[in-house]
Amino acid sequence: MTDNTYNGWTNYETWRVNLEIFDTYIFDDVSYPISPEYVQDIADNFVDMSAPDGLAKDYAMAFLGAVNWTEIAEHVNESKKLEDFYNDNI
């Protein structure tokens, strides 16, 4: 069996999308917990807005197809819990 994990994430694609899109994404006016589908919609919209139709966009969408959206959603939700806990206890 091949281990495709990357820096503690399911795979390189999940790690990279989290790093490039969600590490600095601000979830204003969002109800928590957020769903994997919501996270995927954000990434899909990011690609739609930044890549013209064609081969590059097709490759970007194929790359997103390998992302573990549940893992990113869980990470965002856990980060929000930690942030709320910190803010409530300072």
Cα-Cα-Cα-Cα dihedral sign, residues 15, 19, 85, 78: negative
- The token duo for 53 is 């139709």
Q: How far apart are CA 32 and CA 80, in angstroms?
A: 8
Residue 1 has pLDDT above 70, yes or no: no
- Predicted TM-score of the model (pTM): 0.86
- The token duo for 16 is 């990279």
What are the tens digits of pLDDT across the range 20-47? Answer: 999 989 888 888 999 999 999 999 999 9
What are the tens digits of pLDDT across the range 40-90? Answer: 999 999 999 988 999 999 999 999 999 999 999 999 999 988 888 888 887
- CA separation (Å) from 75 to 20, 34, 52? 14, 10, 30
